[in-house]
């Protein structure tokens, strides 16, 4: 099953590039940039990755991102992630980046996006991985900071397809960003938002109504509101679910408690994603394997989860059909109906 899940053609729709920074690369970049890390070894870094909640994680994640300084650093980060994609048959990816984490430290916006964009283009050419980039606003910062970031981003409009919303969810509701999301939509950008990870189901509804998102990131707390569940099912709204993230951040105490397969059975368009793989113990294949080990994920369910992701990817219809054809061919070869 591990081999099947690794070979399964996959799309990743919820991945923070800064969350793919492995401790080995963190040390390499710290050395390259003359930065002193508060850890002496890779083992010590990994041992520090014990989180009681989202904020515990975010504090360590933002600290780790400080080693990223030059365009080459952002290239190397993105390239390392794309190599993992290649090894795991992730044939399409729509990663997030958090520009404010870097611009607030004095790194120029173009340094960040140009490094990422160059790696994504090389990924298309050298690895055959298609991609679309998503710019996330940090929701613990205020609306004016998000507007400033959107303005900095506009000269690079061709390098990203959508805006998103991440960081500390509780106390930072979607309505705080309704106007900046409206401005982004006016500029022709698509929108997504983290909602219902730690925050209440009401934040999912607000992400739909006030931010007009095309997909909800996480959304697992939708199960607490039956009317919302019915709305998600009826509208075909996608949720980008991150199983290992949810257990590492105590959204579910154990993978056996995870609700992704119940939602799949009810007809919610759920997808599997890795969120911050360097911090949560695995990339795409490991997330699928965790569902198999804890919940008995079947091959048919795995193919359906993968199909959902291709169906809601931010690509043109011909590109989508080509991606789905690769999945269909795999499923037929494997005898999965």
Which residues are known to be catalytic? 197
By the rule CB under 6 A, 19 interacts with ligand ADE:
yes
Minimum CB distance to ligand ADE, residue 267 (Å) = 25
Which residues, including other chains, have CB under 8 Å from residue 87's CB and lie 6 or more apart?
none
Q: Does 194 bind ligand ADE (CB under 6 A)?
A: yes
286 binds, among Zn ion, ligand ADE, none (CB under 5 to 8 A by kind): none
Indicate the angle between helix axes 71-87 and 109-122, nearest 10 degrees. Answer: 30
Distance CA 238, CA 68 (A): 32
Q: How far apart are CA 220 and CA 246, in angstroms?
A: 9
Per-residue contact string for residues 259-278; x = within reach of Zn ion by CB under 5 A:
----------------x---
| Residue 106: count of CB within 10 angstroms of its CB | 7
User: What is the spatial distance between Cα 91 and Cα 82, in angstroms, rounded to a whole number?
Assistant: 10
**Contacting residues for 49 by C-beta, under 8 A, at least 6 apart:** 60, 248, 279
By the rule CB under 6 A, 16 interacts with ligand ADE? yes
Among 11, 21, 26, 54, binds ligand ADE (CB under 6 A): 54
Q: Which helix (H) or strand (E) holds 80?
A: helix 71-87
Q: How far is the CB of 331 from Zn ion (least distance, A)?
A: 28
By the rule CB under 6 A, 276 interacts with ligand ADE = yes
The 3-state DSSP class for residue 200 equals coil
Determine, following the binding rule CB under 6 A, whether residue 191 of this chain makes contact with ligand ADE: no
User: Look-up: residue for tokens 């120029």?
Assistant: 108
- Of residues 71 and 275, the one with the C-beta less far from Zn ion: 275
247 binds ligand ADE (CB under 6 A): no
* 12 lies in the site for Zn ion, by CB under 5 A: no
Residue closest to ligand ADE when measured from CB atoms: 166
Query: What 8-state DSSP symbol labels residue 16?
Result: B
Please give the residue ranges that form the binding site for ligand ADE (CB under 6 A): 16, 19, 54, 61, 166-167, 194, 197, 245, 275-276
Which residues bind to Zn ion, rule: CB under 5 A? 275
């Amino acid at each position: 099953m591990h081999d099947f899940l690794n070979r399964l053609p996959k799309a990743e729709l919820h991945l923070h590039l800064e969350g793919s920074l492995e401790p080995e690369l963190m040390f390499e970049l710290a050395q390259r940039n003359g930065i002193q890390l508060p850890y002496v070894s890779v083992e010590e870094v990994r041992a520090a990755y014990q989180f009681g909640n989202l904020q515990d994680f975010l504090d360590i994640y933002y600290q780790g991102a400080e080693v990223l300084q030059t365009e080459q650093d952002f290239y190397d980060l993105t390239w390392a992630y794309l190599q993992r994609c290649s090894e795991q048959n992730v044939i399409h990816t729509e990663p997030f980046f958090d520009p404010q984490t870097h611009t607030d430290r004095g790194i120029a916006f173009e340094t960040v996006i140009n490094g990422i964009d160059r790696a994504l283009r090389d990924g298309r050419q050298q690895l055959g991985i298609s991609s679309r980039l998503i710019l996330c606003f940090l929701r613990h910062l205020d609306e004016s900071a998000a507007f400033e970031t959107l303005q900095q981003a506009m000269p690079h409009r061709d390098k990203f397809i959508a805006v998103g919303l991440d960081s500390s969810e509780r106390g930072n509701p979607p309505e705080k960003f309704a106007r900046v999301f409206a401005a982004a939509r006016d500029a022709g950008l698509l929108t997504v938002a983290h909602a219902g990870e730690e925050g209440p189901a009401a934040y999912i509804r607000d992400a739909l109504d006030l931010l007009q998102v095309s997909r909800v990131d996480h959304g697992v707390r939708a199960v607490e509101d039956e009317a919302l569940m019915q709305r998600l099912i009826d509208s075909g709204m996608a949720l980008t679910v991150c199983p290992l993230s949810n257990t590492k951040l105590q959204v579910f105490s154990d993978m056996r408690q995870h609700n992704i397969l119940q939602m799949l059975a009810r007809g919610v368009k759920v997808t599997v994603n890795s969120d911050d793989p360097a911090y949560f113990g695995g990339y795409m294949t490991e997330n699928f394997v965790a569902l198999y080990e804890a919940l008995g994920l079947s091959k048919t369910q795995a193919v359906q989860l993968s199909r959902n992701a291709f169906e809601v990817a931010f690509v043109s219809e011909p590109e989508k059909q080509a991606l789905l054809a690769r999945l269909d061919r795999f499923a037929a070869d494997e005898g999965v109906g």
